[in-house]
Structure 1
Amino acid sequence: MQSLIVYSHLRWNFVYQRPQHVLSRLAARWPVIYIEEPVPGSAEDYIEVIEAAAGVQVWRPHLAGDQHGMHTVYCDVMRELVANALSRAGTHSYWLWFYTPMALPYTTMLEPEGIVYDCMDELSLFRGAPPELLDQEAALLDKADLVFTGGRSLYLAKRDRHHAVHCFPSSVDAAHFRPGVPDHALQAAFAHPRLGYCGVIDERIDLGIIEGIALAHPDWQLVMVGPTAKIDPASLPRLPNIHWLGQQAYADLPAFICGWDICLLPFALNDATRFISPTKTLEYMACGKPCVSTAIRDVVEPYSHVVSIRADAAGFVEACETILARTPAQAAQEACLVEEIISGTSWDGTAAAMGALIAGCSAGSATAQQDEDTGTGVFVPPVAAAPASSFLATAS
């Protein structure tokens, strides 16, 4: 049976986002082996195998070196470890799937039937990006059979660099993110109004907006859910009405969001956010919550009729005051517009469309070029998910 061998810079048990949504669904059709970036500092080189989900195995390499990330110093040992593990598992027919071009040098010993590059971020613009990343991406684009992008901005940036680029913006699991979930105990004591954000807190977040809102309205509670990464925790604004709750389980996120009055997308406008397509936008909407965002292109273009777009703390305060003053009729009208959006997209549909492209490519019938305006993924129609137990991973 054909498998998907995935190389990712993201830990499977980190924030639950695009890779987990897509791959856990594709695993109903093809066993998935998800290879994380190495963990340094081990006494010996080995691969830890984790049964992460039905049909999904996580392979976590533990290596004797001291370099973090997918460093080129690990090329030889990673090639040997993975090739030997695949041989022992009897995994001989597979596609390679990349979330980072930095893994490409690890795969020179492998002979895939095809290659997918799922470009969910412009990693070269992130803080700490290795200088060789752009060259590795060029090499990956040269080898890939299919290129998926995580949003329209990325699609426009990549479409002229490959013959088969397909746009798959962030989607939503509306059955999971639904209105009316009981409040989470960690925030039950917080007064209303509550304004909330969930996601990674890093250089992409405009902390000045958070602080400005909190100072303007000491009676508003700001609930920040998510891990801190690549910034000094000491830089987080500390005020009595700002609550930093850290990373929470994906299963618990609806309980937080449903307890908020307004959801925030307080992104800084910088290189790291130029191409982002925030997964949380639709998750907020699916929980029935109004949103305020900065002018992120992949939020503005599809959702500006239902998301309030503002530039700074004063603008966020004004937008939130307006939302809190809405009449029930105004709220109901906006809810109808949101329902149209949510009903038109799903991770089930996204994964099904991706799978169809892979199957078509395997059969020699992949479409050469997607039309910009009518192509796959602007809003992927919901498709019933295959049973998660249909196929199980064969690697061991």
Structure 2
Amino acid sequence: MKVLFLENLPYESDVRVGSHHYAARFAREGHDVLWLSHPISPLHFVRRVKRDLAVRVRAWREGPLQVDGLAWYAPLVALPPADAPLLKSRCVYEGVARLSVPPLSSVLAKAGFASCDVVWLTNPYYAAFARAVHARCRVVRVADESSAFKGVSPVVAQAEADAIRDADVAFAVSAPTLERVRALRPDAVGLPNGVEFEHFARGGDEPPEYAQAPRPRVVYVGATEYWFDADLVAACARAMPHAAFFIIGPASSRVAAVLGSVPNVRLLGPRRYAYLPRYLAHADLGIVPFVRDEMIDAVHPIKVYEYLAAGLPVVATRWTELERMNAPVRLVDRSGFCQAVFEELASPSCPRDARIAYAAANSWDERFAAVKEAVEAVIGTARA
């Protein structure tokens, strides 16, 4: 099969999301896979606001690049769709393919993807383009409440709704999102996130950044955008000067300003996915200090599975989807977060074996089996 992924992040991003794992598994089974990341534009070179800009530029200049048995590419467009004057119009949004340099249709044709067996849409900005690609099966995977993100064009919500109605298969990652998607199509399928269990369970050597750090060690892995409660982490670190707090992931200027001066907080920046198990294996606690809002309420957190696969106890602020997961995690309101961190470091509330077993039961292999079943049912019908 030929499978086209229309995504947000580059395939070679340090941050790996669900589609990375599905694309890799399609490729591992011998299918031809092409991954398109969110487009770059001249504005990104002026404002440098887009994560992974250097790797995106390389994929545009030299791509499609070959990685992990699949190909990926980052288009360059003249005008990027955005929540800004002139750029948030539907005309600009639907012109992504036409305004790309070189034309995206020619890139696909050259790569052998003028028509596909499966078009897999996660990034709503590609919805109009996805409709123009001939495919036997159209999949929409709704991974987040996209319209709840700051700075997202209001056009996105309508485009995503249209794509959901047009799809052959609609997946939703969280229960709140599934409820919304089923209002558009009752046959939508719940497809939670998962974990590369063996990857995170294997551990590894102690990372060099830990060599001079005392124990206990508290770790956070992931994005530090506006939903990351840097003030809460700073308060906990100051209350526990005997502990070392490690923040792994791109640090925004706001987070650097809040945490950069706290002596026992270390902002490590991004680390390659291949090395993350080492940082978890030699830590004592994983944290998820999120500010609750509409977007967070619908997040099904991959990092929780990864912490648990490494055997870590976890403290997280409480939100709707995380409560529904019923994971062996200490869930607290913001006011009780630091006390919970202190208590879990002293005496974890859940046995290590239970944490690991929960992660093992939620692997990406299990999720991919459900994906294949749904896709093959459509393609089999189309073939008949």
Normalising by structure 1, report the TM-score: 0.83
Instruction: Find the aligned partners of 2:17 and 2:164 in 1 and give their Cα distance.
Output: 23
1:247-266 paired onto structure 2 within 5 Å = 247-266=270-289
How far off its partner does 1:10 sit?
1.5
Matched, 1:319 2:336: no
- The corresponding residue for 1:137 is 160
Instruction: Find the aligned partners of 1:46 and 1:317 in 2 and give their Cα distance.
Output: 47
Matched, 1:182 2:199: no
Matched, 1:25 2:40: no
- The corresponding residue for 1:67 is 80
Post-superposition CA distance 1:137-164 (Å, at most 9, x none) = 1211121111111222322222222143
Matched, 1:53 2:52: no
Query: Which amino acid in structure 2 is aligned with residue 147 of structure 1?
Result: A
Distance 1:229 1:363, change over 3 A: farther
- The corresponding residue for 1:84 is 106
- The corresponding residue for 2:49 is none
Instruction: Find the aligned partners of 2:308 and 2:301 in 1 and give their Cα distance.
Output: 12
- The corresponding residue for 2:379 is 362
How far off its partner does 1:78 sit?
4.1
Kept after mapping to 2: 8 A contact 1:39/1:68: no
After TM superposition, the structure 1 stretch with the greater mean CA deviation from structure 2, 171-180 or 273-282, is 171-180
How far off its partner does 1:79 sit?
10
Show structure 1 runs of 5+ residues with no match: 366-396
- The corresponding residue for 2:330 is 308
How far off its partner does 1:346 sit?
1.0
- The corresponding residue for 1:369 is none
Kept after mapping to 2: 8 A contact 1:203/1:230: no
Instruction: Find the aligned partners of 2:81 and 2:268 in 1 and give their Cα distance.
Output: 27
**2:4 match: secondary structure:** strand
**2:75 match: secondary structure:** strand
Post-superposition CA distance 1:179-230 (Å, at most 9, x none) = 6432111222111111110001111111121011012111111100001359
- What is the Cα-based RMSD across aligned positions, in Å? 2.6
Distance 1:129 1:236, change over 3 A: farther
Q: Which has the higher contact order (CA 8 A, sep 6+)?
A: 1
How far off its partner does 1:308 sit?
0.8
1:234-245 paired onto structure 2 within 5 Å = 234-236=257-259, 238-245=261-268
Instruction: Find the aligned partners of 2:294 and 2:308 in 1 and give their Cα distance.
Output: 26
Kept after mapping to 1: 8 A contact 2:146/2:157: no
Query: Which amino acid in structure 2 is aligned with residue 315 of structure 1?
Result: G
Q: How many residues align?
A: 356
Matched, 1:336 2:353: yes
Matched, 1:294 2:320: no
1:155-170 paired onto structure 2 within 5 Å = 155-170=178-193
Instruction: Find the aligned partners of 1:291 and 1:323 in 2 and give their Cα distance.
Output: 8
Instruction: Find the aligned partners of 1:318 and 1:232 in 2 and give their Cα distance.
Output: 22
Query: Which amino acid in structure 2 is aligned with residue 175 of structure 1?
Result: E
Query: Which amino acid in structure 2 is aligned with residue 336 of structure 1?
Result: D
Instruction: Find the aligned partners of 1:106 and 1:297 in 2 and give their Cα distance.
Output: 33
Instruction: Find the aligned partners of 2:269 and 2:38 in 1 and give their Cα distance.
Output: 23
- The corresponding residue for 1:387 is none
How far off its partner does 1:299 sit?
1.9
Over the matched positions of the two proteins, sequence identity in percent amounts to 21
Instruction: Find the aligned partners of 1:300 and 1:230 in 2 and give their Cα distance.
Output: 31
**1:219 match: secondary structure:** coil
Kept after mapping to 2: 8 A contact 1:196/1:222: yes
Normalising by structure 2, report the TM-score: 0.85
Distance 1:355 1:80, change over 3 A: farther
Post-superposition CA distance 1:285-337 (Å, at most 9, x none) = 01011000011222222235x2111112x5122212222332xxx77x62232
How far off its partner does 1:130 sit?
0.8
